[in-house]
Structure 1
Amino acid sequence: MTAPLARVVIVGASLAGLRTAAALRDHGFTGSLTIVGDEPHPPYDRPPLSKQVLTDETAPDPALPVPEPLGAQWKLGRSAVRLEPHERVVLLDDGTGLPYDGVVLATGSGARGWPEPRPVQGIHTLRTREDALRVRAELRPGRRVVVVGAGFLGGELAAAARARSAHVTLVEASRQPLERAIGAAPGAWIAGLHRESGVDLRTATTVTAFRADGDRVRGVALSDGTEHAADTVLLALGGTPATGWLAGSGLDLGHGVRCDSRLRALDPAGAVVPGVVAAGDVARVPQPLAGGEAIALGHWTTATEHAITAARTLLDPTTSAPHTAVPSFWSDLHGARIRSVGLPTLADEVLVHEHDLPGRHLKVTYLRRGRLIGALTVNRTRSLTAYRRELHAASEAFAP
């Protein structure tokens, strides 16, 4: 270690936070370790919330296993309200100050809501375990559910509602679901999958108003001039990095905490802020596949990979390796297994190799300036192995 590291504070009892704590111990850190979480629960896995938890009332608890002995002091049900990098202190909402030698920012992202005014009851977002339980209680046979936003989360919400025999209307502003994320042709494949599964998909359409009975939602008006009855509305409008508590800290907070390739937080001038690293959804990290462009990725695998880099950087930033892992993502819609690697969103060319909706198969590659930057398959997971290998070699080659 280049400097004594006796006290580490991890803000965010998340996947990224827990994995960073474990990585610190695995790499020999024996000092004080404090983990702060604004929810009352120990860390839990979020992907099952929009999958198993919504569809199966007997689904196992999504709690993440905590390594023993982790030797951490837990501050659960407490929120960090301010970071003082010069004094090296994290301030909590109960007035407690936590001094640190190193701090990990792992607060993730929050669900984007709807501007007020809106009905108070019957409109939900999905981010926490409590959100999932509330939404599941609404998904019953015959219920009329409107899902706003047909991205990966919105698609999973629609699929879960159909699995519980609800009537589903899925509203998407783009011409196809996931068009900006995976391209128009793959998006059309996903659109066909939704429609074949009984979802009333409305594309190139937005919600213009909610209809209410008192303070309870009863329907939505759409920009195509139609109105749809709704017992429940689920908002899947994307996420926003949870950086509000970092205002005034001197960090560069545009679209997440901007970091260097070793996950060290930067100030607006691009200088490293000593003792501060970020990991997971909240971190905006240079991506070698994107020519070093700093991007925040809300992927499960990214959070786990960031954890190792963040821990090594805190322990010895002079020898830690840059983050070069290839991003990957998965989703399951109406029984179809969707898998992707790389950065399809940044492609300037989309090549469709297989487009078989009846057979439930899709294979697509993505190029940027003639180079492979991503791949996506449906029910062709083995096909990704070669693409992942090629992307990993490219990422290593372009790493700083």
Structure 2
Amino acid sequence: MADEGTHVIVGAGLAGAKAAETLREDGFAGRVVLIGEEQERPYDRPPLSKEYLQGNADRDAVYLHTADWYAEHGVELRSGTRAAAIDRDAHEVVLADGERVGYRKLLLATGSSPRRLPVAGADLDGVHYLRTLGDSDTIAATIRSSSRIVVVGGGWIGLEVTAAARIADVAVTVVESAPLPLLRVLGPEIAEVFATLHREHGVDLRVDTDLAEITGRDGRVTGVRLADGTEIDADAVVVGVGITPNTDLAEAAGLEVSNGVVVDTRHRTSDPDVHAAGDVANLWYPAFERHLRVEHWDNARNGGPAAARAMLGDETAYDHLPYFFTDQYDLGMEYTGYVAPGEYDEVVVRGELSSREFVAFWLAGGRVLAGMNVNIWDVTDPIARLVRLEETFDRGRHADPAVPLA
């Protein structure tokens, strides 16, 4: 029998913890169970590749709540606990030790896992992936003890780790299979800005290059070999080649899964009593008329609470635009909206790319799909209005730095 007074959340990351917080803030008086595989209590992930990795934030700063917050708010935090199955007929979550926890509503916030390298040597000591707080600690220690590292993957995680290592005066080679880092996300016009940024900071950027093997001796990394035969020495290798949504529970339970757990604008899965949020959720976005699985921090920060309110019966459609940010060296950036690779006509730049102080707009058919502000602040709201079609894009006005964007 289902426990009619219990809401269960599987996944104790940002989305899950914010959902639990929202359930209590919005007056849910029943039982709240928050299940997480990590031994750590819920924490924020962006600092793991930014200020925490660089040693500019202490450990307590990354946690979402104090250690006693969960007990004080009646949230049963089950750290170090794996959910093994969902019994939808019984309305129960089956834990790895066989315990069954009944639910009235269930939220899947199981997140994602780093994609592993399918090359020889990937299992050597000194090969690192960044996803958890422990991973960040390990990579920070590696940066302190290394003179040269190789970063595989020129995405956000790879470039942020690269910046942290270069700030620590560690030599870095980045191996990227595309012609430019971030090419798929930003397109060639803006991706070149980040390539130039890292080259100016002494990064050996190897683009249009595939990794053939991670080399080692006595079980330990000594370098990498590229597809063209080039060998590069390294004390360690950090891999950032994307993530995969953790959908095993959902698939085994018979929920609809396609590039994540498919949900509607209220984070409801194909089972009305099961919701999903965060990295694992493939959500319908009315603004773009498509499902999107957004992997960024802001999606979990806002999606978790939205899912919690939907569990409580709120019928409001989730319409928060995708948003993410990065900090690399002296470059700070915010990005609002969504552009599929190759699905834009032009990029209109407000300011000068060379100065790395500009706003870029991605347009298709005259419509703004996304905007990115680099080292210019307090403009995300007007950018969002343009993306939402609340304001027509006026090239003469919006591209002119002399005219206030707001």
TM-score (norm 1): 0.91
Q: State yes or no: 1:103 paired with 2:106.
A: yes
Q: Which residue of 2 aligns with 1:269?
A: none
> How far apart, CA to CA, are the structure 2 residues paired with 1:59 and 1:252?
40
Cα–Cα, structure 1 residues 43 and 289, in superposed 2: closer, same or farther, change >3 Å?
same
Match of 1:344, SS? coil
Shift of 1:141: 6.8
| Deviation digits for residues 125-165 of structure 1 (CA, Å, limit 9, x no counterpart) | 00001101111111037611100111111110110110111
Distance 1:254 1:201 in 2: 34
Backbone CA RMSD of aligned residues = 2.0
Q: Counterparts of 1:371-390 in structure 2 under 5 Å? A: 371-390=367-386
- Match for residue 284 of structure 2 among 272, 283, 286: 286
Contact 1:206 1:222 survives alignment (8 Å): yes
Deviating more after overlay: 189-198 vs 371-380: 371-380
Counterpart of 1:368?
A: 364
Alpha-carbon distance in 1 for matches of 2:174, 2:84: 37
Tell me the residue number matched to 1:321.
316
Match of 2:238 among 209, 234, 241: 234
1:260 to 264, 267, 289: 264
Partner of 1:270: none
The number of equivalent residue pairs is 384
Of 132, 139, 149, 2:153 maps to 149
User: 2:252 aligns to what SS in structure 1?
Assistant: coil
Question: AA paired with 1:75?
Answer: R
Counterpart residue number, 1:297: 294
Q: Does 1:65 align with 2:62?
A: no
Partner of 1:172: 176
Identify if the C-alpha distance between structure 1 residues 224 and 385 changes in structure 2 by more than 3 Å, giving closer, same or farther: farther
Q: CA deviation at 1:314?
A: 1.0
Comparing 131-140 and 361-370, the one that deviates more: 361-370
Residue pair 1:5, 1:315 contacting (<8 A) in 2 also? no
User: Once the 2 structures are TM-superposed, how far is the Cα of residue 354 of structure 1 from its aligned partner?
Assistant: 4.6
3-state DSSP of counterpart to 1:52: coil
Q: Tell me which of 186, 189, 199 is aligned to 1:185.
A: 189
Q: Greater CA deviation, 303-312 or 56-65?
A: 56-65
Q: Which amino acid in the other structure matches residue 234 of structure 2?
A: A
SS in 2 for 1:305: helix
What is aligned with 2:13? 14
The yes-or-no answer on 1:332 pairing with 2:335 is: no
Question: What is the TM-score of this pair, normalised by structure 2?
Answer: 0.90
Match of 1:202 among 195, 203, 206: 206
Instruction: Give the SS at the match of 2:12.
Output: coil
Distance 1:73 1:323, change over 3 A: same
Deviation for aligned residue 1:6? 1.0
Is 2:336 the partner of 1:341? yes
What secondary structure is seen at the aligned counterpart in 1 of 2:52?
A: helix
Gaps of 5+ in 1: 267-272, 396-400
Counterpart pick for 1:139 among 133, 139, 143: 143
1:359 paired with 2:350, answer no
Task: State the SS of the aligned residue for 2:291.
Answer: strand
Q: Match of 1:127?
A: 131
Distance 1:237 1:160 in 2: 18
**Is the CA contact 1:289–1:343 (under 8 Å) kept in the aligned structure 2?**
no
5+ residue gaps, structure 2, are 392-406
Offset, 1:52:
1.4
Taking the aligned partners of 1:379 and 1:19, their CA distance within structure 2 comes to: 29
What displacement does 1:295 show? 1.1
More displaced, 246-255 or 175-184?
246-255
Aligned equivalent of 2:29: 30
